[in-house]
Structure 1
């Protein structure tokens, strides 16, 4: 991406919880239109990285820039309004809102695109949500909640979509639907950062992979490079 500026750039990020430090100088770049996979075994700092990027955890050192603007230390709602949307681990749907209310309450066009993600288009992507539009969040299955969490994020038309544990705990048939959804989003040019343990599926989806090991970037490269070096899988991913 020589000659172009990253949509999101993190430099030297350090973060942690109280006296427990988790990230030790993490660098990360995501360019517009890219899908980047953030990989690593449990406890290596993936979720902490995402929390720091989205402002839910304050960076202790380093800088995060989005769209060329410094967002380190910015409030969570400001970062969201700038166009970063997250599908969090655990989905976090609202138990007392209907499916439809989830999808209209946060609707915006933060990407400024003409072919925006509106209610109809989200229902086309996830027909099951249309069928369940009057159901409350706590009346949905885990797979339906994940579809809803993705749909809710898309309703803001984000410049950057972040998925933390995209298919964790889902039945195989639902997991496949989520992978198909992510492939469609990539084809549509959606910039995405995704965390997931299914490396074989990420090879087909991601343009670049970043592996974290004990809060540091241990390796980064293309899908072709990751597929060619299976020693990385056993060393850093436990595969």
Structure 2
């Protein structure tokens, strides 16, 4: 039986900033419905990989494909319209828009999905956003802003949802709420690429994991394999 075409395929990606090369031949495949984590210490190339995928940084080598289509030379807004949505590090909510306005301003279903992420469904996953729907972005806590950033991305009905530092800077109780929400998204069949430092939680969430070290993929495998080999954690993931 042939392997199905990945939703996202990064083939031998190289990228960097000016004369400084950061990525060296990154290989990354994500199948529809998968949750994949991108792991590594700070400065190892995780955010640069994401920037390259979403078109914020042009690769200097290799190719990124989405549903078999090359993304070479495409602007970030054109890539987003294909069905990619990112929850960026730092959230970047608009201070002068209400929660409801955030979720309606970006709502779309360009890809014709049947089970759409409409306002009611987003509020069902994030009840706190419903409670705060008339509050402005700058009136929300950090955890509420992260929920809003995820909800805003979902409102575009993406084929692939990317989260950069999913729970960075959040209180433990709020982190747990975000993890529960991500588990709900996985159960709904949402394809996700997630960056986060809490490996013990990602082992329970993601199907597969990719570890970066100095801009190179040094390990890939499923959660059972990552959980069984704790030497990987100390070698590549702990400070």
TM-score class, shorter: over 0.9
- Report what 2:94 is aligned to: 94
- Report what 1:103 is aligned to: 103
- Report what 2:8 is aligned to: 8
Q: What is the Cα deviation at residue 174 of structure 1?
A: 0.8
Per-residue displacement from partner, 1:111-157 (whole Å, max 9, x unpaired)?
42222110111111111111111111111110000000000000011
Per-residue displacement from partner, 1:27-78 (whole Å, max 9, x unpaired)?
1000000000000000000000000000001111110000110012210001
Residues 38-77 of structure 1: matches in 2 within 5 Å?
A: 38-77=38-77
Counterpart CA distance in 1 for 2:110 and 2:173 is: 32
Name the count of aligned residue pairs.
Answer: 239
Counterpart CA distance in 2 for 1:191 and 1:209 is: 14
Structure 2 unaligned regions, length at least 5: none
Question: Secondary structure at 2:161's aligned position in 1?
Answer: strand
Residues 153-232 of structure 1: matches in 2 within 5 Å?
A: 153-232=153-232
Aligned alpha-carbon RMSD (Å): 1.1
Counterpart CA distance in 1 for 2:113 and 2:129 is: 23
The 8 Å contact of residues 110 and 159 in structure 1, kept in 2 or not, is answered as no
- Report what 1:126 is aligned to: 126
Would you identify which runs of 4 or more consecutive aligned residues in structure 1 move more than 6 Å?
A: none
Q: Normalising to structure 1: TM-score of the pair?
A: 0.98
Q: Normalising to structure 2: TM-score of the pair?
A: 0.98
Counterpart CA distance in 1 for 2:111 and 2:199 is: 29
Structure 1 unaligned regions, length at least 5: none
Counterpart CA distance in 2 for 1:205 and 1:226 is: 12
Q: What is the Cα deviation at residue 2 of structure 1?
A: 4.4
| 2:37 matches 1:37 | yes
Per-residue displacement from partner, 1:150-209 (whole Å, max 9, x unpaired)?
000000110000000000111111111100000011111100000001111101111100
